[in-house]
Amino acid sequence: MLQHLKNIITGNTVSPWAKKQDRVILLFEDDEQVDKVMHFLSEVLERTETDKKSADPVAFVMDVLLPEATVHALGAVHSISLDKAKEMYMRGTEFDSSEITQLGEQLQSHISSKPRQKLDSFLSNYKKALECEEFLRRL
C-alpha cells in the first residue's frame, strides 16, 4: 500500500482520482481520524523523493492520496477486491455510525439469538473498520 502511494507521488502509477473533479467522500467517524490519516499521508508525500512536486500538496493529499488510501484500507478491512472497495467508497455511507449503533440496539431487543449474533458480529466489524488505528495499521 505504501509503495502504491509512493508510485502515485512519483508519477509511476496514475491515480484515477488525479483527474476527478468530484468531492472526496469521507468514511471517517470523526475529524480526529481524518486529521491522523491526513497527517500520515502528508508525511508520505514529504518523505517520497520525486521530481514531480505538486503545486498544491494539501489538495493532492486530499483529492488523490486520501481516496487511494481509503479504497485500499476498505479492501483490506472488508477482505474485498480493490474494485469492490472502490464501489463501496463511491457509494459512501448511507447511515451515520451512531445511527447504525442505535438501530442495532433497538433490533437486539426484538430478535432471537442467532440473528442477534450476526448483528453483533456486523456491528463489531463495522466499528473496527471505522477505528483510525485499524485504518492506519492496514496502510
pLDDT at residue 26 in the model: 65
Q: Is the pTM of this model over 0.75?
A: no
Query: Widest CA span of the chain, in angstroms?
Result: 60
Distance from C-alpha of 139 to C-alpha of 117, rounded to nearest angstrom: 29
pLDDT at 93: 67
What's the confidence (pLDDT) of residue 130?
Answer: 66
pLDDT digits (tens, 9 = 90+) for 9-61: 888 888 877 776 655 566 676 778 888 888 999 999 988 888 887 788 888 88
Beta strands per DSSP E along the chain = none
